[in-house]
Amino acid sequence: MGPDQQSGGRGRRVSVVGTVVGNKMQKTITVREDRLVRHALYGKFVRRSTLYKAHDEQGEARLGDQVEIAFTRPLSKTKRWRLVRVIARDALAAETLGGAAEGGEVAS
């Protein structure tokens, strides 16, 4: 999962696949990209992650969803990415939302 270059009319287009970890802002999501990096001295693979702020105009991405985002012009101080598509919905979140929408009670 790293930045991919896509061939297009406007030159190199960088895109990233990651997981939505925040959607509390209006029209903005926080996407985490996880990757494995080999340690220089010990050779062990270490998990590293990067957080991106991405523009979600329709508000379609939810917590836990796997999404593709693309690099774009600066939209705000920290937002330089836009949502391209939702690749996969989070199954656990979908079950929780589905149960709450049908009026199911939560056991306490």
Total number of domains constituting the chain: 1
| CA separation for the pair 88, 83 (Å, rounded) | 13
Asked whether residue 92 carries a pLDDT value surpassing 80, the answer given is no
Q: What is the DSSP string of 37-56?
A: EE-TTT--EEEEEEEEEEE-
End-to-end CA distance of the chain: 39
Does 106 fall in a domain? no
pTM of the full structure: 0.74
CATH number of 91's domain? 2.40.50.140
pLDDT at 91: 77
Asked whether residue 102 carries a pLDDT value surpassing 60, the answer given is no
Does 108 fall in a domain? no
- Span 7-62, pLDDT tens digits: 556 777 899 999 999 999 999 999 999 999 999 999 999 999 999 999 999 999 99
User: Looking at residues 73-81, what average pLDDT do you find?
Assistant: 95
Does 42 fall in a domain? yes
pLDDT at 105: 53
Q: Where in the sequence is the domain holding 56, given as residue range(s)?
A: 4-101
Does 84 fall in a domain? yes
